[in-house]
Amino acid sequence: MVSDNGEEAKIVRYSGSTEKQIIQWDEQGHPLYSNRQFFKYLCENGNLDICLADNGANAVVVVSAVGKFRFRYTGNQPEESFYPYGITTDSQNRILIADKIKDNIHLVHQDGHLLGLIDNYDLQSPRCVCVDSKGNLFVAEQYTRKVKKIQYYQ
């Protein structure tokens, strides 16, 4: 969540209506997430890591279940911008991230290195992603309003 004044961004974990955990700072006291009023998408993998696609920072930030910073993923090409939108994880804890501007999906290992790009399905502004129990990737395209089913990994 980003505060109304735009000065703070944090993840708050609840159990029912009870606040259980706030994740906001790294070990050096720096903010983990951009405080800019851009979209942020999050998911949790099978290890209970929290993965947040921070569109305002052009990065995905992953923290452990206890809120400890694990890594920041900023795309596969340092000289190119990365525009993360939708994010999900699969049964092997791999992270799938929609890059709406580049029309592809980044497939990232649970430890933060790129495994590959899903870019051969004529995706057009992929915005939201999810993986079903059979390992199928579903990609929702923003402007075409289509949902594409992709078998992405063998």
pLDDT, residue 77, reads 77
In a domain? residue 55: yes
How high is the pLDDT of residue 152?
83
Count of domains observed in the chain: 1
> Can you give the pTM of this predicted structure?
0.91
Q: Does the residue 122 lie in any domain?
A: yes
For the chain, the straight-line distance linking the first and the last C-alpha, in angstroms and rounded, comes to 36
What residues in the chain have per-residue pLDDT under 50?
none
Which amino acid type is present at position 93? Answer: N
The predicted structure's pLDDT at residue 79? 72
Report the pLDDT value the prediction gives residue 111, as an integer from 0 to 100.
96
Q: Is residue 92 part of a domain?
A: yes
4 lies in some domain: no
Radius of gyration for the alpha carbons in the chain, expressed in angstroms and rounded:
15
Asked if residue 15 belongs to a domain, the reply is: yes
Asked, for residue 6, whether it belongs to a domain, the answer is no
Whole-number pLDDT of residue 1: 61
Identify the CATH number of the domain in which residue 131 sits: 2.120.10.30
- Residue ranges with strand state E in 2-146: 11-15, 18-23, 40-44, 50-54, 59-63, 69-73, 84-89, 95-99, 104-108, 114-118, 126-131, 136-141
Q: Give me the domain span that covers residue 29.
A: 11-151
Asked whether residue 100 is assigned to any structural domain, the reply reads: yes
Residue 130 lies inside a defined structural domain of this protein: yes
